[in-house]
């Protein structure tokens, strides 16, 4: 036997490695060596006799997968989950006023920590977020140890952290400068939507993004009134954004529901990417986004939960299971969006949509060691004839045992190792106790049906 010639930080041995690389390689009885937070080598266990490690994780009988990439969230809204459900015009009539009254830096920080536990324990290692006081979200992300693309929301009306309209622009610039060289938190800028940010300010956002070289995230073609307004003035929301000069490769469009074939062509031509949020859209009673059609045109599409007020559950597993079902329903075809394609969309597809695929999204030498370890011996996953189908359609978050980001263990035995879960939970209960009276006062007694 060869003597080990190299020493790495961590060796994950045995187990089945689903790499999600471009060839969809799977290594049964595999091995992965990690050094300085990156994958040094991945392949068959028998090819690793020349490597020893400081620490070894015996993963025999387990399944190892790249962490999920959740491409659009508002995690601090965990503080309001379950409030004012099932009402029409929820955003303008209830959520905006509620946020102006209740959102503080302390709430954003503590609610973010709370939501990060749910996301990490259900296998998400990278997510994109837009909200207010995004510095507090960034601090929570650093403490929990996840990877994130974070953007301060820019809004043309008063916001919780900006008394003047468009105050978010200044906050966003400072935020980007403060976090641009961090290894886990990547900044972006996030105008809210075409109907809350005027065309002049959209161009100002684009200027900031180009100047500081960051992505832009915006809700696009999400609501029916937005669709009606821009259809009357420009033919469609996407035609309006194209005419404004806002579409570009650095734009990540969220929702993208009300699109015709020409709009999809515009999106493809611009090089923009898409965060697809099927569960949140369904709950809001909206049509099904043409996600599969956009993928066919070569548009980078990732999956997302949206905020905890919109989709409630923040585990991407619920979303990855819902995604193919809704597309099959929309196209009236069973043979589209295979389980393999769905899992790709939840991992490498999400990384591509966020412009992070050179670093994350698949288990390949040179990429960051962001991965999850699954115990497939569960009453939902067994028997396994097709690993992709078992993960997409039958896996539950409680089958995920441990989570690593940048080679560092952030959860083990289904509990966070970076946070005090009891303290995080107690903080959320205290927040809810403070919010309860206000939320009760705005909740309609007899919602119209
Ligand atoms: Zn959203």
Report how far ligand 1's centroid is from the alpha carbon of 306 (Å): 5
Q: Is the pLDDT of residue 145 over 80?
A: yes
Residue 398 gets which letter from DSSP? G
Residue 324 CA to ligand 1 center (angstroms) comes to 21
**What rounded mean pLDDT belongs to the chain?**
95
Q: Is the pLDDT of residue 4 over 70?
A: no
pLDDT of residue 87: 85
Ligand 1 mean position, distance from CA 311 (Å)? 10
Helix axes 237-244, 224-234, angle to 10 degrees: 60
Give the pLDDT confidence score for residue 446 in this predicted structure: 66
**Comparing 88 with 373, which gets the higher pLDDT?**
373
Strand order in the sheet with 63-66: 26-27, 16-18, 63-66, 371-374, 400-405, 408-412, 415-416
Using a pLDDT cut of 70, give the percent of the chain over it.
Answer: 98
Mean pLDDT in residue range 51-63: 97
Ligand 1 centroid distance, CA of 18 (Å):
30
pLDDT for 194-241, tens place per residue? 999 999 999 999 999 999 999 999 999 999 999 999 999 999 999 999
- Residue 440 token pair: 């009760």
| pLDDT per residue as tens digits for the range 396-427 | 999 999 999 999 999 999 999 999 999 999 99
Using CA atoms, how far apart are residues 150 and 135, in angstroms rounded to an integer?
Answer: 9
Work out the average pLDDT over 285-307. Answer: 97
Query: What integer pLDDT is reported at residue 61 of this predicted model?
Result: 97
Share of the chain above pLDDT 90, in %: 86
Taking 80 as the threshold, does the pLDDT of residue 5 lie above it? no
Distance 114 CA to ligand 1 centre (A): 18
Cα 347 from Cα 320, distance rounded (Å): 10
Would you tell me how many other CB atoms lie within 10 Å of the CB of residue 233? 12
The mean-pLDDT minimum among 37-46, 76-85, 265-274, 293-302 falls in 76-85
Distance 314 CA to ligand 1 centre (A): 13
| C-alpha gyration radius of the chain | 22
- Secondary element (H or E) of residue 160: none
Beta-sheet pairing, 147-154 with 6-13: unpaired
- Residue 292 pLDDT greater than 60, yes or no: yes
Q: Is the dihedral of CA 378, 379, 382, 383 positive or negative?
A: positive
What does DSSP assign to residue 156? Answer: S
Residue 390 alpha carbon to ligand 1 centre in Å: 29
Å from CA of 419 to ligand 1 middle: 26
Q: Rounded to the nearest whole angstrom, what is the distance from the C-alpha of residue 255 to the centroid of ligand 1?
A: 8
Average the pLDDT over each of 86-90, 342-346, 380-384, 431-435 and give the range with the smallest value: 86-90
- Distance from Cα 219 to the centre of ligand 1, integer Å: 6
pLDDT of residue 2 exceeding 60 = no
pTM attached to this predicted model: 0.96
Residue range 340-351: mean pLDDT, rounded: 98
Mean pLDDT of the 272-278 span? 98
Helices (H), 186-336: 199-212, 224-234, 237-244, 261-270, 278-283, 291-296, 316-331
């Amino acid at each position: 036997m060869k003597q080990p010639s190299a020493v790495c930080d961590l060796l994950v041995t045995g187990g089945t490695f689903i790499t999600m690389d471009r060839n969809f390689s799977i290594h049964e009885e595999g091995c992965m060596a990690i050094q300085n937070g990156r994958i040094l080598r991945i392949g068959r266990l028998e090819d690793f006799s020349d490597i020893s490690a400081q620490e070894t994780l015996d993963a025999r009988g387990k399944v190892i997968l790249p962490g999920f990439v959740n491409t659009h969230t508002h995690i601090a809204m965990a503080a309001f989950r379950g409030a004012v459900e099932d009402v029409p015009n929820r955003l303008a009539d209830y959520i905006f006023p509620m946020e102006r009254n209740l959102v503080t830096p302390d709430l954003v920080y503590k609610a973010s920590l709370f939501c990060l536990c749910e996301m990490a324990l259900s296998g998400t290692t990278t997510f994109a977020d837009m909200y207010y006081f995004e510095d507090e979200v960034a601090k929570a992300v650093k403490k929990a140890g996840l990877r994130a693309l974070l953007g301060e929301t820019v809004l043309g009306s008063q916001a919780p952290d900006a008394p003047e309209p468009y105050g978010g622009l200044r906050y966003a610039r400072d935020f980007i400068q403060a976090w641009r060289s961090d290894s886990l938190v990547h900044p972006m800028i996030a105008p809210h939507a075409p109907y809350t940010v005027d065309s002049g300010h959209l161009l100002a956002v684009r200027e900031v993004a180009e100047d500081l070289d960051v992505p832009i995230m915006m809700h696009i073609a999400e609501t029916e009134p937005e669709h009606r307004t821009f259809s009357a003035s420009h033919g469609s929301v996407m035609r309006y954004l194209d005419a404004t000069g806002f579409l570009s490769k650095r734009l990540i469009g969220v929702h993208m529901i009300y699109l015709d074939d020409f709009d999809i062509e515009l999106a493809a031509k611009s090089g923009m990417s898409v965060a697809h949020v099927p569960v949140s859209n369904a709950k809001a009673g909206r049509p099904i986004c043409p996600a599969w059609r956009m993928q066919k045109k070569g548009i980078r599409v990732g999956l997302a939960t949206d905020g905890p007020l919109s989709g409630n559950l923040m585990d991407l597993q619920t979303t990855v299971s819902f995604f193919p079902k809704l597309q099959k329903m929309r196209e009236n075809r069973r043979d589209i969006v295979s389980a393999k394609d769905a899992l790709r969309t939840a991992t490498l597809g999400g990384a591509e949509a966020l412009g992070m695929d050179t670093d994350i999204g698949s288990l390949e030498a040179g990429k960051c060691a962001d991965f999850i370890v699954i115990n497939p011996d569960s009453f939902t996953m067994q028997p396994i004839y097709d690993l992709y189908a078992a993960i997409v359609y039958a896996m539950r978050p409680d089958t995920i045992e441990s989570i690593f980001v940048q080679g560092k263990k952030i959860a083990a035995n289904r509990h966070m190792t970076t946070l005090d879960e009891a303290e995080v939970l107690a903080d959320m209960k205290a927040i809810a106790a403070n919010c309860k009276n206000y939320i009760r006062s705005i909740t309609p007694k007899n919602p119209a049906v």
